[in-house]
Amino acid sequence: PWPVAAVLSVLAAILQFAGMLVERWLFFAEAKHTVTLYYGR
Protein backbone atom coordinates (compact mmCIF):
# COMPACT_ATOMS: atom_id res chain seq x y z
CA PRO A 1 0.00 0.00 0.00
CA TRP A 2 1.25 3.47 -0.83
CA PRO A 3 0.94 5.07 2.66
CA VAL A 4 3.26 2.44 4.11
CA ALA A 5 5.71 2.93 1.27
CA ALA A 6 5.63 6.70 1.74
CA VAL A 7 6.31 6.45 5.47
CA LEU A 8 9.12 3.96 4.95
CA SER A 9 10.66 6.13 2.24
CA VAL A 10 10.71 9.18 4.51
CA LEU A 11 12.13 7.09 7.34
CA ALA A 12 14.84 5.69 5.07
CA ALA A 13 15.79 9.18 3.89
CA ILE A 14 16.05 10.44 7.48
CA LEU A 15 18.16 7.46 8.54
CA GLN A 16 20.43 7.85 5.52
CA PHE A 17 20.93 11.55 6.27
CA ALA A 18 21.67 10.81 9.93
CA GLY A 19 24.15 8.11 8.95
CA MET A 20 25.87 10.49 6.55
CA LEU A 21 26.23 13.10 9.31
CA VAL A 22 27.67 10.53 11.73
CA GLU A 23 30.10 9.24 9.10
CA ARG A 24 31.31 12.77 8.28
CA TRP A 25 31.68 13.64 11.97
CA LEU A 26 33.67 10.50 12.70
CA PHE A 27 35.89 11.13 9.69
CA PHE A 28 36.70 14.71 10.63
CA ALA A 29 36.80 14.23 14.40
CA GLU A 30 38.68 10.97 14.80
CA ALA A 31 40.41 10.10 11.54
CA LYS A 32 44.17 10.23 11.24
CA HIS A 33 44.51 12.50 8.23
CA THR A 34 47.58 12.38 6.04
CA VAL A 35 48.00 16.14 6.41
CA THR A 36 48.66 15.63 10.14
CA LEU A 37 51.85 13.78 9.20
CA TYR A 38 53.11 17.01 7.66
CA TYR A 39 52.30 19.06 10.74
CA GLY A 40 53.57 16.37 13.10
CA ARG A 41 50.41 16.01 15.17
Q: CB-side exposure of 25: number of CA atoms within 13 Å?
A: 6
Q: Who has greater pLDDT, 31 or 21?
A: 21
| Domain residue limits, the chain | 2-39
Question: Which pLDDT does position 28 carry in this prediction?
Answer: 79
pTM: 0.60
Mean pLDDT score of the chain, rounded to an integer? 86
